[in-house]
Structure 1
Amino acid sequence: MMFKAYLVVCFLATAANAQSILVVRLVDGSDASEGRVEVYNNGTWGTVCDDSWDDTDAGVVCRSLGFHSGTRVLGSPAFGQGSGDILLDDVSCNGTETNLGDCSNAGLGVHNCAHFEDAGVRCSTGVRLVDGTMLGSGRVEVLYNGEWGTVCNDGWDLTDANVVCRSLGLGAARVAFWAAVFGEGTGTIVLDDVSCSGDETSIFDCGNSGLGTNNCGHSDDAGVICEHGVRLVAGSNASEGRVEVYYNGAWGTVCDDSWDDTDARVVCRSLGFDSGTGVLGSPAFGQGSGEILLDDVSCTGTETNIGDCSNAGLGVHNCGHFEDAGVRCFELNFEDVRLVDGFMLGSGRVEVFYNGEWGTVCDYRWDWFDANVVCRSLGLGRAIAAFWAAFFGEGTGTIVLDDVSCSGDETSIFDCGSAGLGTNNCGHSEDAGVVCANGVRLVDGSDASEGRVEVYINGAWGTVCDDSWDDTDARVVCRTLGFDSGTAVGNAEFGQGSGDILLDDVSCTGTETDFRLCSNAGFGVHNCTHFEDAGVRCSTVYVVRLVDGSDESEGRVEVYARNNGAWGTVCDDSWDDTDARVVCRHLGFDSGTGVGNAEFGQGSGDILLDDVSCTGTETNLGDCSNAGFRVHNCVHSEDAGVFCSGQTVSAELRLVDGTCNSEGRVEIFYDGVWGTICDDFWDDTDAGVVCRSLGYSSGTAVGSAEFGQGSGDIIFDNVECSAGDTALEYCRSNAPFDNNCSHAEDAGVRCTE
């Protein structure tokens, strides 16, 4: 037995030296047939560099994944940059390989690339429909020996047609056609006597008389009409995306001229959803490529397929891809949740829709984690409190859920553990309830920072009347949603809402931390119509820093937004000296010049701003025009930077509550407020920087609020200065206002002459 085991080990080692079988996957494509190529090695996934990457290499990848063929995609713009190791470079396949590991390459982990060179592929099933009279229809053609040929209709039936339609993502087959209904093709008749069982993923998997073997003429060419000719691309999930339609062998887009919710509902129902809303233009789901196939779509709502709706004609349009239409689909099923009978916005008894009626949730084991899932699923932020014992009154009907147990990561309460739908040992005196962090949202703005103000009460969203609506009210709304400030707009500037007008005569003092605390006429009491719907434009004050320069006057520009919680970079698209001067003046310099192309190295994390365009009068980068928070078409090789010039003025420091001027609690004036420093990592090097900036020669650090607890914000935490730092704000630290401290940890110093 020992000898046999030794032989096996030797064989495996020899095989490993000869070739490496790599597991391959496609990531971040619009569907399973395309994406960034990633390979698995030594327990982790890594990417492939696009040096010498070509269609032959792509074909090997695609065939190994069960597709017929493939084409290369170079660089990261199409499918984004990967992370982790770059595992393969200089890949060169001859086309006969069955696995990417069989192809010549520079060696696992050997490369001279960055992730903006990550290789991708678009795979093909080797099947297309051409010369159809409607979307998702046409003569069936297959790719063989590098050219397209046809399929003979001998034995051709709905089962065979079904395999074709499903392989193209066009749903089930409606009709199988014979006798060249869609016209006669040319070239080889590739398949004859096709016999599918219906379970195949490709027509090439079905029984047939042999590739190129037939007794037919092109007058026998087979065709199909598929269930639909539409797909959704580039959404965050399968229920939303850019609408693309299939015609004459290729996918194309739909122009948003006259696009509305009626059109969206037809699309969504054809894809198996219950309803949907229309999304105009490319910002939400990106611009498509290829032809714009439909324009001026006008559905009545009774159609079963978008191809049945009135339109300008296939391929007839006056649009660009920045007008590509999209949809957000949804299902009206038992996975509906609402809050009813609450005494404030975003609160109430939890009710769920099941078997055609609304029912309640039992409070046994009901806790904050369960409540949090409900609040987030309704777009109401986190949960503030979970309530028991029918706090919001007893409901009626079925008690649908009991023993609910959520981890907190679920997107719906129905994803949480429970006793089973309709299974309970409770009465309505145990109905569960919640209060959510906010009961407000912004709708129909160009991005998340603006829109019509809508509030949630008693299971529905409604609008706010603009009577007495002003900037003070807007600022409270914006702060409730995590922004720093805001301005008010009225007269339904973001379009008229629907449903009830829930608030009128809103009057905030400006000190409220939550919009719900503002005075108003009472829920549902108003003398308004929807053309008076109120809106807001919220703004964020960006904290700015310069990174990886030779000193504090230059570097890569990075910004921190309090509602994002992390540092990110700025893209250099349209970046110029005017933008740079705003950054530099914000940091205390007199002027500055802009640089791009990651002159100070590539950053990491999110690219937060793009297409920045300052007028020069702004005091903060967040006041400048831009594409929208986290909206960009960039990679980190385009990170913007600045060279600042002129005298810088350090942030103002003071020592408070010491026994003399040279000691005390350290307080810093930052972003318009005085605040303290947390003592995490606080040491004599940090104290020395503080003391020298105040005119002393050195200093020693003290912590644990030795000079008493301060008040207001804790501005810096985890401060780690080096001996060469000239001001506290140049030391390494957490982002401003980001801390895990209390004032019992306020830092202090004792300075010496």
Structure 2
Amino acid sequence: MSAIHILHYSLIVGTCFVSHYAVAQNNTVGQAPWSVRLMGGIYESEGRVEVFYDNQWGSICDSLWSIEDANVVCRQLNYSGADLALVAGQYDEGQGVVLFSNMECNGMESNLSTCKYDLVDVTHCDHSRDAGAVCTSQGSLRLAGGSVPGEGRVEILGESGDWGTICDDGWDKTDAGVACRQLGYPDALEAIVNVGYPNTQPVFGSGSGPILLDGLDCESEKRHLRDCRVTKQWGIHDCTHGEDAGIKCDMGLTRLVDGDFDDEGRVEVYYGGKWGRICSTNWTIDDAHVACRELGFPLGARNTKIFEGGDGPFLLDDMKCQGVETYLADCESLGWANNQNCDANLNYGAGVVCNDPSAVVRLLSGSSSYEGVVQYRNRSELGLICDPDWSDKEADVTCRQLGYQYGRSEKPVSLGPLSGTIYYLDYHCNGTEEQIGDCVYTVKSNDVQCNHDHIAQVFCGPPIDFDLRMVGSDFTEQGRLEVFLKGEWGYVAAGYYSSIDRDTVCRHLGYAGAFYTYTTEFARSSRPILIDDISCGDNDMKITDCYILELSGPNSTQQERDEVSALCFPYESVANHPVRFRDENGVINRNYGVIEIYHDGIWGPICDSFFYEHEILCSQLGHTDLTMGGTLSNYDGKYTSNGPMWFRLSYCPQYSGSWYDFDRDKIYECRHGPWGKPDPDYCSRDNVATARCVYVDQTDDSRDDYYPDEDVSRQPGLGGWEVFLVAIAVVVPMCLIIGCCYRSRRSQTIIATGTPPATYTSATNATHIDGVSSESTDPSPPYVPPSPAPVESPPTYDSVTAPMTQTDHTNA
């Protein structure tokens, strides 16, 4: 880079920007010198620029305001020059008039009055756009010893005019952020300290002047390093130049905001200490190409888009890029902060969708990150591809787009009823295309609902670095986590495996989110630990996005107990976890009974003695009157299920704003333990979850007093509380006799009226879970539906939610 990037935006004003902007400038011949002052700053060397003109003090509009203009102001105030030229009223709004705008100095003038300018009544500028300046003085910063702009040893100007260094004791990223913003950068990437001192030299070399600051402790909102707390007075330290602090600043002066994906959003630019928008007037695909390449997308933009939101100033207007420029600042425009076409109160700005092939397609719900259902993004809408003729050629192109060498059309995910957006496309790839969007395709009619067997799925290979997979489980959506790195598979460990880390892992694998689970619940092999620690942010989509990703080395202390697992829940569009009821006679229905949920081709109950998630369950089953739902007494065990006990339900927040911050409207989304591993201390066949979505007469249940919330008519006779009072009044032997007789009488009633429970057969391979024999097509991932498929594998919601007749006794 031939010039400092941070100054690139301002220096270009005198070329490209000015060439497009033409107005009638004032005649400065014979102009009397102006007095200037700085107002509103912490120090007298900074503030809002005010000029005494026509017998009054007034401010300057920030339109075209640049470092050259600020230099003239600072030299006029007897400083050597300016550190920053600031825009958008950063020193509070002035109280007088706004006098001038479009100030254009070359930086060499002795008085601001000799520069070109416009009177403010031409541009209608208010105090929210007051221009500011920071002059070079005690506390100013510079960088030394760096190999590229934006990095180096931090040097600070002392009171005597000498440049000195800062000791790295306590130096952290917050301190570095204050320093970078003081230098005109948006933020810091890294705080550099000499961790090997005294055996190593500082990264950016040792300084030679005095050490002026030691023990800094900054807060992020500070404007200057000298505003921060220090443990020692200015010039007092116990360091050597081997401990000189350094920084690496964020050089990105363009960003994307408010997009649903990393490759799209409203374009914002950083100038004059502020992030601001670009006016969408005349915003074209050529402008978008330049913005995307500057943001690190070498293929440029897919299209332009207007994104709502944003309250920053409009910093660029009427862009006229040719499409080949390196930076937006290279393009012709009206100039910095010279907004002519967009009202400041508009709540939108120019945006882009950049061309990132790996972001156009994702793989969902596989047992690894290189297999699954193909999710396709058309503009900003996600959907599945319905293509009856999807072949290895289409899979090969899709996998190549994701960075793999080959792909196969396989069905690693068991799909059921489809939801969400479906793209009815018939692709005709020749197999050599780089992206699925390059293939010839025809749009099919969506009059007929897509068969789930026609949804595009792929298996890609071979694995690439940082691919993930779940192992050690008999069922999908869970397992001990393995990572592929440098040609081998190994485990992932973590010092503290937070809920945020778990969510990131599951998103990397193509799932919506994660539940908590213990590491030791899944089998392991003798593979090594390849990652020692991860720590991720809320919005990270892959573990490679995490701010801590520590690879294992020869000195690793991590052990088997530190290894992590994944228990994920799928996106609703590919979820195959319908629910149903089985009543006391084994009849499948949607109204009441034991709750069964479908997973990997098997129907099974869940564990919860007191099930209270009636609204979620009944809504999922298609009921609209949710007030009829409630608990269902199963004290006598008449509601049973022969399927495997899937899990113990923990909780299910139903409302946004809850402690868990998101809604759950499906039972499979509620927090639960691993599939097929119910809590052995709590879950037994007596603890299957039961519920009702309609009124159920439970008056025959002599223990209905254990369920006080039920709306049933009480029958005469001895109830639970009466029995308790009698037990207090009589001797213990008599209580035992009454209890035995009571229990014997109940057993006779059950034997006389009960119906043998129904059984469910789905295929030929039997598995044994929780001591119960259940038959499944293939309980180990990936699940492949049998051929021919059993009656209810995979199920349809219609078969579950359709009204049942009294003669329907399907043993499903």
Give me the TM-score of the superposition, normalised by structure 2.
Answer: 0.30
Of structures 1 and 2, the one scoring higher in RCO (CA 8 A, sep 6+) is: 2
